[in-house]
Structure 1
Amino acid sequence: MRISDFWRLMDDEFGAGYSRVLSSSLVLAGVGGRTADDALSAGYSPRDVWLALCDVQDVPAERRLGRDIKPSDGGRGAY
């Protein structure tokens, strides 16, 4: 997982504003008692940080991969 994927998942699940509050203030046992921001800075993988955050926030398994977005048909419409 890339850091951009981490932030997309955070924003989708918690909203753009609240995701920044969580990342800077919520201490996560799964990454050594660090906040998400500190864990990412310390070199933890974005995936590990995301999963630790999901555990603490009780994000259901079906939402841990992000929301389903239907692919665009390129403006062609259905035939």
Structure 2
Amino acid sequence: MRLTDFWERLEQSFGSAYAHSIAADHAFTALGGRTIDEAIAQGVDTATIWRAVVSAYPDRVPSRLR
């Protein structure tokens, strides 16, 4: 998944402002306790990060974006 696709999915699921807040502030267990921003900076594949988001917020992510 391209980084631009990742951000589009995150913003479609949470809205622009909240998506960036989650990326900076929410530590995901599936990412080893890292935030999205930290995981991206450390080179974690965006598909792996997206799966962590979907797992943590199953009711927020529309099925068409999973």
Q: TM-score range by the shorter chain?
A: 0.7 to 0.9
Q: Which amino acid aligns with 2:65?
A: R
SS across alignment from 2:5: helix
**RMSD, matched Cα:** 1.5
Greater fraction of residues in helix = 2
- Number of aligned pairs? 65
Paired with 2:62 and 2:21, the residues of 1 have a C-alpha distance of 22
Greater fraction of residues in strand = 1
Q: Give ranges in structure 1 of 5+ residues lacking alignment.
A: 66-79
Q: 1:33 and 2:19 equivalent? A: no
Paired with 2:8 and 2:42, the residues of 1 have a C-alpha distance of 20
TM-score by length of 1: 0.74
Deviation at 1:61, TM superposition (A): 7.1
Name the % identity: 28
Deviation at 1:58, TM superposition (A): 1.8
